[in-house]
Structures are given as C-alpha cells and as structure tokens.
Structure 1
C-alpha cells in the first residue's frame, strides 16, 4: 500500500477532452489526485463540485486538481459539462492508476460486498512524492479540507 513520503506512481490517462495527462507533467507543482467511484452520482457530484469551487484557492497554493475514475472519456465529458467542472477528469477504465494507488477494493452497498473504486485523495508534492493521503473521504467539505492541509504543509496556515 502506498504511504506518505513514497514516490507517487506515474500514469498516462486521457481527460474529458481526450488530452493525455502524466503525473510527471506536473513536476514542480502540488497535485491533488482524487479517486472517485462514478460520474454523476450524488457523492461524486458533491465532491467534484467542491473541488470546482475550491480550485482558485488550490491554484493560489500552487496546486492542480485531477479527478480519476474508471468511467470513459465520454462519461467524463458529460459530467464535466453538466456541472461546469473546471479541472481534468482522467479516465482509467483499465484501472491501472486506480490499482497503483490502492484505490480499488472491497466496498459494501445495501449489505452486498463488491469491488470498486474507493474514494481516496492523494496530495503529491512538487518532487512527485506523496505528502498526504485521505483513505476514507467524506465528499462534503473534502476540497476545503485538502486546501487547509496544503496551506499547513506550505506553512501558510493560520
């Protein structure tokens, strides 16, 4: 399992416009890499809209936001347009990055156990190392929580 301080696994995934993004493209910047189960579902929408609304603050702190799910590019495009999402949503249908970050595992819904994408967030520092991990994310207020952690790590917290 990936731990804080380790080098974050690189990836090459397309966004909702079909543009390829590699983690290595973002060296020198902070990266908020968040994994979410499914486009246009209540919790995922709440989380995505939170990151949309906090994007300016996160950018001021030198960070870029990247969302990742197993949905395809077309699904991401519809989701991004519907909620005016202002950051890349990366498509990982083969679940390569999802598995590399340990964001795939057992989940329970209505008493039934199944495997799926786990809602997790990784804050990656400008050198490409994992600075902080949220393994159990509550969508409500999560983007603000990430921004506060980034402020603290950068020494700009109150």
Structure 2
C-alpha cells in the first residue's frame, strides 16, 4: 500500500509540513482542486477540502472510501 496525501497547498508548503510532522509518504499539490473534485472530496462551497480516505486497488478500482478519519484497521483491511 502506498499512501498519498492530496491538498490544494503549494509544494513549498507541503515540504514544510512533511518536515515538521515527519511524514513517510508524499503529499501532492492540487491547487486547482482537480483531484479533490474527481474524488468527491470538496465541501459544498467547492473550495474547502473534506478529508476523505480512499483505497484504490492495483487494478484501479475503489476498494474503500470514507469521509473523515476512519480507523486505520479499516483502511489496512481494505488494502
């Protein structure tokens, strides 16, 4: 499983965040909110992001999707 974070912040902002919190996975910059829109992760105003977790199988199918912060065990089980 390869986790990725996606958020509209700049690449430079992400570098600082990764360094500060010692993430061991990449954060992708989505300033136009294209990825967030495609994965239905935008709030009703179309600007703010709703935290959403997806597990996508190697074949490209969505195996798990949940808004908010689901239990890690649920995510791992879906992987």
User: Which category describes the TM-score, using the shorter chain as reference length?
Assistant: 0.7 to 0.9
Name the residue aligned to 2:72: 143
User: Matches of residues 19-58 of structure 1 in structure 2 within 5 Å?
Assistant: none
Three-state SS of the structure 1 residue aligned to 2:31 is: coil
Q: Does structure 1 conserve the Cα–Cα contact (< 8 Å) formed by 2:64 and 2:75?
A: no
Name the residue aligned to 2:43: 105
One of 120, 123, 139 as aligned partner of 2:52: 120
Count of aligned pairs: 79
Q: Does structure 1 conserve the Cα–Cα contact (< 8 Å) formed by 2:63 and 2:78?
A: no
Q: CA deviation at 1:115?
A: 4.3
| Structure 1 stretches lacking a partner, 5+ long | 1-62, 108-113, 151-158
Q: Does structure 1 conserve the Cα–Cα contact (< 8 Å) formed by 2:8 and 2:33?
A: yes
TM-score (norm 1): 0.46
| Structure 2 stretches lacking a partner, 5+ long | none
TM-score (norm 2): 0.86
Q: CA deviation at 1:145?
A: 3.1
Q: What is the alpha-carbon root mean square deviation over aligned residues?
A: 1.9
Whole-angstrom CA distance in 2 between matches of 1:116 and 1:134: 17
